[in-house]
Chain A
Amino acid sequence: GQNIDQPTEMTATEGAIVQINCTYQTSGFNGLFWYQQHAGEAPTFLSYNVLDGLEEKGRFSSFLSRSKGYSYLLLKELQMKDSASYLCAVRDPLGGGGNKLTFGTGTQLKVEL
């Protein structure tokens, strides 16, 4: 079966650093994605990890440990506009083509002054 766990809500202060964790137990694994979704908008791609280690992209970094079934998204120098839902998703390729993404429920981040 597929199981992806993330905290439901987090609150952080503007200018601070926040780490959003994701643990997964899936039958297949071909990469882990993080998406950001503002209310009423499309999820937008943030980062991708397929090998163990840290991927850095500006204020956002993502880490993966395949042996532990664990990833985190790190947001630095938080801004008010970072208030959004952050979705963790595991990819499993489909035999007929395309990819299947299994999503967690998302972590609603609130950035406060």
Chain B
Amino acid sequence: ETGVTQTPRHLVMGMTNKKSLKCEQHLGHNAMYWYKQSAKKPLELMFVYSLEERVENNSVPSRFSPECPNSSHLFLHLHTLQPEDSALYLCASSQEQGPNQPQHFGDGTRLSIL
């Protein structure tokens, strides 16, 4: 139990579908992150929210749309995805202040695009 919960754990969708990934953190952190993890590639940072404001959009296509309604919840809205978007999507949270504040990760959502 990492304190970061992601749902669903697995998602299969067609290219024309619309779905959302959900992340909830119970650690009292004030920053949240979305990462993409593909086979044989490093974790890629997608979005960063600090104090519910988006502070980083790492050149992510507009078919991925994040939402952070409060400091405990983060969503990733998906529409018109491509087969190359199939990957593990990881959510993380951290406490912004302090030098030794690691990011805590959820177990991820395994996304498959048909």
Q: Which of A12-20, A63-71, A75-83, A96-104 has 4 or more CB atoms under 8 Å from chain B? A: A96-104
Asked if B106 contacts A42 (CB within 8 A), the reply is yes
Interface residue tally of chain A, by bracket? Answer: 20 to 34
Residue tally, chain B, CB below 8 Å to A = 29
Interface membership of A113, Cβ < 8 A: no
Decide: A94 and B48 in contact? CB cutoff 8 A: yes
Contacts of A87 in B (CB 8 A): 43
Tell yes or no: B73 within 8 A of A by CB. Answer: no
Q: Are B94 and A99 in contact (CB under 8 A)?
A: yes
Q: Mark B24-66, 1 if CB is under 8 A from A, else 0.
A: 0000000101000000111101001111010110000000000
CB distance from B89 to the nearest CB of A (A): 12
Of A35, A44, A50, A98, which contacts B99 at CB under 8 A? A50
Cβ–Cβ < 8 Å partners of B90 in chain A: 42-43
- Whether the Cβ atoms of A97 and B96 lie closer than 8 Å is yes
- List residues of chain A with CB within 8 A of the CB of B101: 99
Q: Is B107 an interface residue (CB 8 A)?
A: yes
Partner of B42, one of A4, A48, A50, A99: A4
What are 16 A-B pairs with beta-carbon distances under 8 A? A30-B99, A33-B103, A42-B90, A43-B105, A45-B104, A94-B50, A94-B56, A96-B55, A97-B51, A98-B33, A98-B49, A98-B50, A98-B55, A99-B96, A100-B45, A101-B43
Extra A-B contacts (11), CB below 8 Å, given A33-B103, A42-B105, A45-B102? A4-B42, A42-B106, A50-B99, A94-B56, A96-B56, A97-B51, A98-B50, A101-B45, A101-B103, A102-B42, A105-B42
